[in-house]
Structure 1
């Protein structure tokens, strides 16, 4: 971090990367925050408390993390901390960070609605629109309320705010909800660094699913595809990497499908082990219902591993080039067909893997951080106008 502070950025997000259900959204936020700190900003993240981390800490990158409240109360606790002036004035920090000059309000379905109470600029960060996910995760009544908050109330509250999203797909969906597209900047994810050496593929057909184990990730599709493939390829293996509250139903389904000897549930894995699994797998499967970007697609691509995903899943269409770095499908039957075809066609699979590696190199956290910093600078009193619609190649 430079000696001169360019401003204090307050991030409001429901989780951090240490949370048991933390995912790509949290990785994005903390990588962007780290980049801003390197560029001379100070940054604080307010998120929900959990047993894996203290109530407050400062990371090695310099991000001040304040954990308060739970899944449903973190929104109120964040508002109270801000209104009481407790953020950045010493009450919650050993260092005086200064009062925030801009808020980055992350809407993971349920936004913080900070523009209602904050009298400083607010940037609305939306990874993807949750229209399809509300009814999957909640019952019909809660889903209707949640979707109304996301699609109607939030659009009204943030109507004069700058937006940031991670893909053109989400930008289009936000515009469809009534957000002025000229106020939406696109700042893609970066690709996590590949720190290990290239490793050989498994000698047998191998598939991997990487992500949180929750219903809308639809890991069931990968399990059912594996059961069908096993009738033709007895040595096929599926590795399910990640953790979440949906793990038991998935384990039971594997038993019902009689494929427990062909499926490995690894739980959370460290980065070096994830590198080994992505290098060794023949294909990454992403059956997710909706993604803002598709970080695991690019992670796999960086190791030369192509992917199969759903065209309707939002940002995954931006994270890959259909037919070149992977395959996008329309339904579960096509998902199985595309997976089978790639497993049987080594030449095509290898060519896609090489193209996926080249594609992944286009996306860096350095570019993402610089682009996000331009948006932040445009919102601070001394900043220049944000580059509206900024895209990171």
Structure 2
């Protein structure tokens, strides 16, 4: 069958301070491709946590150029310089890839405009609801126009990959033919450590980046609403981000600062221990392409409460079996209280969550992605 050179364009990598679940997905899929003999290169933004050029233990070359906003232009210049073979960027030459995976995380790289190669557009989720939260009204309109109008036109001849049926449906609303969209789910990270016991007191955890659209405030509201009934209730907020200080201030305004523990960055071992020990995990996010933290908690037997309409979370958990989906904030708070009170239901959901998470593997995801890469010669949508 042969092998391919796969160039991945994404603005972040897992070592980036703002990296999250979508970067974990890319890292694992890239590693699976490399394990199958493909040459894989990731071009992403530079940051202080890693060198400008390195090869990972999984065999993936990572090139870091540009910043959050300039990485898109630097990717195009580095690509073109590599093909031309001269100029100040030639030392970063990528060579001619067989396939480009262009990650459209709100803002796309628009690689079909300059790269005469087959392009796979990877979209974790559509950002309609997030643009106004992250940007002001004027820039939000521009961002949504790029994502909803410009990108579908630029990638009109490309195959799409997404991580959930929910995002596949959202792309269809934007005019992307469903026949061009392949769903490749996240795998569930392996649990290598021994389990630790649950806390003796009622405990909740929110795991992820601390940014506004994760809506950690709702978890704080749940604690405030249940505080009188459950004097020992504790919430652990595990993760880092620029929104931490406003969250701390909000906890103080609710008079629950003594019940909320902000951990900052956590190692894999610390994350494992926190997910094992919590009674219930909360994912109040506005939108998730999949919900990696949900299956991470599930693999430790910890059920999650999230929201209906929040994207792929409805596939990362089974409502009423491995977790609960809420209709609104009041329902979210009520379901949190219900699951904290009912140990029998919580244990049953935890076991169902563990089984559901085990059905998703990175090996299967990597194999599915590799099949897509290898089909480029036969797939109409991958012909440049």
When the two structures are superposed, what TM-score results if normalisation uses the length of structure 1? 0.94
Contact 2:104–2:121, Cα closer than 8 Å, also in 1:
yes
Contact 2:124–2:289, Cα closer than 8 Å, also in 1:
yes
1:163 aligns with 2:160: yes
Counterpart in the other structure of 1:21: 18
Shift of 1:99: 2.1
Residues in 1 aligned to 2:275 and 2:49: alpha-carbon distance in whole angstroms: 26
Residues in 1 aligned to 2:84 and 2:331: alpha-carbon distance in whole angstroms: 50
Residues in 2 aligned to 1:54 and 1:175: alpha-carbon distance in whole angstroms: 39
Residues in 1 aligned to 2:50 and 2:380: alpha-carbon distance in whole angstroms: 35
- Please state whether the residue corresponding to 2:6 is helix, strand or coil: strand
Contact 1:375–1:387, Cα closer than 8 Å, also in 2:
no
Contact 1:86–1:92, Cα closer than 8 Å, also in 2:
no
CA 1:385–1:75 in 2, change beyond 3 Å: closer, same or farther?
same
Contact 1:208–1:241, Cα closer than 8 Å, also in 2:
yes
Counterpart in the other structure of 1:391: none
Deviations 1:145-187 (A, max 9, x none): 0000000000000001000000000000001110010000000
Deviations 1:268-324 (A, max 9, x none): 111111000000000000000000000000000000000000011000001010000
For structure 1, the 5+ residue unaligned runs are 389-393
Instruction: Give the number of equivalent residue pairs.
Output: 380
Contact 1:88–1:99, Cα closer than 8 Å, also in 2:
no
Contact 1:240–1:264, Cα closer than 8 Å, also in 2:
yes
Counterpart in the other structure of 2:293: 296
For structure 2, the 5+ residue unaligned runs are none
Pairs within 5 Å for 1:220-259:
220-259=217-256
Contact 2:207–2:237, Cα closer than 8 Å, also in 1:
yes
- Please state whether the residue corresponding to 2:206 is helix, strand or coil: strand
Pairs within 5 Å for 1:162-241:
162-241=159-238
Alignment match of 2:275 (pick from 264, 275, 278): 278
1:332 aligns with 2:329: yes
Residues in 2 aligned to 1:146 and 1:316: alpha-carbon distance in whole angstroms: 24
Counterpart in the other structure of 2:104: 107
1:264 aligns with 2:257: no
Shift of 1:12: 0.3
CA 1:59–1:32 in 2, change beyond 3 Å: closer, same or farther?
same
Shift of 1:53: 0.8
- Please state whether the residue corresponding to 1:353 is helix, strand or coil: helix
Residues in 2 aligned to 1:296 and 1:221: alpha-carbon distance in whole angstroms: 17
Deviations 1:314-363 (A, max 9, x none): 00001010000000011110000000000000000000000000000000
Residues in 2 aligned to 1:5 and 1:309: alpha-carbon distance in whole angstroms: 43
Shift of 1:385: 4.0
Residues in 2 aligned to 1:205 and 1:14: alpha-carbon distance in whole angstroms: 39
Residues in 1 aligned to 2:380 and 2:138: alpha-carbon distance in whole angstroms: 39
Shift of 1:387: 12
- Please state whether the residue corresponding to 2:257 is helix, strand or coil: coil
Deviations 1:217-274 (A, max 9, x none): 0000001111111111010000000001101100111111111111000011111110
Shift of 1:123: 0.2
Alignment match of 1:48 (pick from 36, 45, 48): 45
Contact 1:34–1:62, Cα closer than 8 Å, also in 2:
yes
Residues in 2 aligned to 1:112 and 1:87: alpha-carbon distance in whole angstroms: 20
1:341 aligns with 2:338: yes
Counterpart in the other structure of 2:371: 374
